[in-house]
Structure 1
Amino acid sequence: MHPRIAAGVFYLLSFLLLPVTQLGYVLWVGGLLARRGSGVSGTAQGPLSARWFNHMLGTRKDEPTERLMRVLPGVPPLAPRLVAGPMLLAHRLTGYVPRAFRYPFEGEVSPLHQASARITFFDAAVDRHLADFDQFVILGAGFDTRAFRLPKNRAIRAFEVDMPKTQALKREMVKAAGIDSERVTFVAADFEKEGWLERLVAAGFDVGKPALFLWEGVLMYLERQAVEDTLRKIARTARGSVVAFDYFTTEVLESQALYWRLARMGTRANGEPLKFGIESRPPVSERVAELLRSCGLSPGEHQTLGRETEGTRAWGGFATAVVK
């Protein structure tokens, strides 16, 4: 089927089956609302569902993610299937994959596609750096599954650091899903209140050996002091250690554009308001470098999200930093 015809048929079928998708979302969101006030992160489900769509479409296989989706607390197992069903049917009939779920993600990243695009960025960081390191730390792990997908032939020590209630729920889900977590050490800590590095060391982390830190989808929900404190603690680890992270700029926190106003309203309603943004004065890459150097780190890779022009400012980015 010609690509344009395939795309047209795909979206036509998706539109015709929209009531099925909407029913699934109603059931899914209803389950999330029922858990409000539990202290468990609601935003953690966004990256999980993005990876699940990749898995179901066959673009990025992730069996642990598929298993976790079966045991989402409070969410009827049928709900995600109803949400994804029309898209999967349209894909099987046409072979078309929506841009958001192509892997690796290519091209300009829109705010709508940020959660999907960052999967490629963080996967690349893992592939590149864990070839040399044997310590892997996921900060604010949420429902990340990378620690469960490490190569079996290497003795990599994996640690997940997260809020106590979110982590406790994840551990219950991992057990219920039958996922092998023997190689993962769970460390409960609140970035804004507790010494996470001290707890990490107490759990077996060796500050004398380099490590890869993933910090995905977390900075924007922390106060500036917690962001800087976390970066300084990473800077105290072994030379050569790397941290990969994503961020928003102050444009996201201040913009009156409808998309960002709704995004801020949504995170506030979910009990996780956006708090931190890198100063958006262009070029934002220099603002990121200034922050990293002030915390004792050397800037590494950087990808700006959003075009920087005289009248437009970047809204976010992906970056790495190195301990020198």
Structure 2
Amino acid sequence: MESGRASKTALGVAIRRAAHQMIDKPPVLDDPIALRLVGDGYPRLMERAMHSVGRDFRGFMAARSRYTEDQLAEAVACGVTQYVVLGAGLDTFAYRNPFSTLRVFEVDFPATQVWKRAMLAQAAIALPANLVFVALDFEHQTLADGLVEAGLDFTKRAFFGWLGVVPYLTLDAFRATLSVVARMPVGSAVTFDYAVAPETLSPIGRIAFDRLSERVAAAGEPFRLFFTPEDLEAELRREGFKRVEQVDSGRLNDLYFNDRADGLKLSPLGLGMLVTAGV
């Protein structure tokens, strides 16, 4: 996205997370803040997000956040006290953070943060004391410099969440961010999602990918970066990550969608995957 405007895809994700709270019972991700944040100002978008056609995408939005927050919980149990949300958009974790010792750093473009803070104020959602906004214009400041200025302690372990961002990056920008995480102390980690190389998809999967790609391009935020699981693992190993766990839709179904009365389950199309990489 451009640094001078807020993200349309971030709004779409937030609306789907809110719709998930309303229509999918029980929710995979329990996020009442999403409903308050979105409010009733987007009825047409909410109706579309609740439609059966968008069910799989809605489920994936919830599952990727749940998986990331489960990974974070494991890190906190091992003593991590710093959580960096990269490309935070309208992420709501900081406003329902159950860990009193965890400091949360939300990193995003200045325009997106101004927009989010206005939405938070309108919804009367209080800013927690252990939240730090890191407004970063990547044309003038590096991620490492921005985090240092915001008070992240680079001598202590940190966990990074990086959802809904990697497919929109250049390869150089992706590697630059990974290098920051890889320089953190042993025990630090990052969870992110990525788009699977379209040429490896099934014919049906390729049709679904092309439709999604057209929508995000029309919103001004086109997909740029794709990986095969093998290429992605090689990137992480070259950067120095010691632990790599990749999770596909089948694994997410096993973790979060078994034995549901409503039958909610992720499709096997395999457009995206999740990965956790530890230093």
Which TM-score tier does this pair reach, normalised by the shorter chain? 0.7 to 0.9
Q: Partner of 2:190 in structure 1?
A: 243
Sort the Cα spacing of 1:50 and 1:208 in 2 relative to 1 into closer, same or farther, 3 A: same
TM-score scaled by length of structure 1: 0.69
Amino acid at match of 1:167: Q
**Unpaired runs of 5+ in structure 1?**
1-35, 88-97, 102-109
1:184 maps to 2:131? yes
| 1:111 positional shift | 6.4
Query: CA offsets per residue over residues 165-193 of structure 1, 9 Å max, x none?
Result: 11111011112211121321000114576
Q: Partner of 1:39 in structure 2?
A: 5
Q: Partner of 1:107 in structure 2?
A: none
In 2, Cα distance between equivalents of 1:67 and 1:189: 26
1:217 maps to 2:183? no
Q: Partner of 2:95 in structure 1?
A: 148
SS across alignment from 2:8 = coil
* Contact persistence 1:249–1:316 (CA under 8 A): yes
Query: CA offsets per residue over residues 118-140 of structure 1, 9 Å max, x none?
Result: 13322221222222211111000
1:322 maps to 2:278? yes
| 1:262 positional shift | 1.7
| 1:40 positional shift | 1.0
Query: CA offsets per residue over residues 268-315 of structure 1, 9 Å max, x none?
Result: 11100000111x3xxx2x3222110222222322113589xxxx9964
Q: Partner of 1:295 in structure 2?
A: 239
Sort the Cα spacing of 1:150 and 1:190 in 2 relative to 1 into closer, same or farther, 3 A: same
TM-score scaled by length of structure 2: 0.79
SS across alignment from 2:248 = strand
Q: Partner of 2:216 in structure 1?
A: 267
Sort the Cα spacing of 1:172 and 1:302 in 2 relative to 1 into closer, same or farther, 3 A: same
Q: How does 1:1-324 map to 2 (within 5 A)?
A: 39-57=5-23, 59=27, 60-70=29-39, 76=41, 78-79=43-44, 113-131=59-77, 132-151=79-98, 154-181=100-127, 182-191=129-138, 194-251=141-198, 257-278=206-227, 280=228, 284=229, 286-305=230-249, 315-323=271-279
State percent identity of aligned pairs. Answer: 33
**Unpaired runs of 5+ in structure 2?**
252-267
Amino acid at match of 2:65: I
Sort the Cα spacing of 1:304 and 1:79 in 2 relative to 1 into closer, same or farther, 3 A: closer
Amino acid at match of 1:185: V
In 2, Cα distance between equivalents of 1:268 and 1:202: 33
* Contact persistence 2:3–2:110 (CA under 8 A): no
Amino acid at match of 1:263: L
In 1, Cα distance between equivalents of 2:38 and 2:192: 25
SS across alignment from 1:217 = coil
In 2, Cα distance between equivalents of 1:37 and 1:293: 31
In 2, Cα distance between equivalents of 1:236 and 1:162: 21
Amino acid at match of 2:163: E
| 1:115 positional shift | 2.4
Sort the Cα spacing of 1:252 and 1:146 in 2 relative to 1 into closer, same or farther, 3 A: farther
Larger radius of gyration: 1
Q: Considering only aligned residues, what root-mean-square deviation do their CA atoms show, in Å? A: 3.2
